[in-house]
Homo-oligomer: A and B are copies of this chain.
Amino acid sequence: MKNSSIAITEAESRVMNALWKQAPQTSEEIVGTLTGPTDWHEKTIKTLLNRLLSKGAISVQRDGRRYLYSPELRREDWRKHESRSLLDRVFGGKVAPLLAHFSQHEELSAKDIAELRKLIDAIEKKGR
């Protein structure tokens, strides 16, 4: 029962995010999306796409002379993996300290709070 966690580096995650937002995309489109937010050279992005391909995080489908790229790794799975990693590495595996942390540092907007409250209600209702 491997949780199929492919490791995605910081730079690669920018590419994945572009693909999660929309897929499939040609490399040209991806380059377009990332130019501005990053100052990466087109070649750099191509390299990242290839690395992601090698590790199975994305897949391609030929479209004439070019490729159409699509994410293979699911965003939710990645988020789960990264969250758990932070939790274990930084907060000893426990959620409460993490939440306490966010709140103490006032990183929660009013909207976050409202959202949170809704969430909790939902969870409690479900649990009951």
Contact = CB atoms under 8 A, between A and B. Distances in A.
B80 A83 contact: no
Query: Is chain A's interface secondary structure helix, strand, loop, or mixed overall?
Result: helix
B90 A112 contact: no
A105 B80 contact: yes
B90 A82 contact: yes
A116 interface: yes
A120 interface: yes
23 contacts: A10-B89, A13-B89, A79-B101, A82-B86, A82-B90, A83-B90, A83-B98, A87-B107, A94-B112, A95-B109, A95-B116, A96-B111, A96-B112, A96-B116, A99-B112, A99-B115, A99-B119, A100-B115, A110-B127, A113-B120, A113-B123, A117-B120, A120-B120
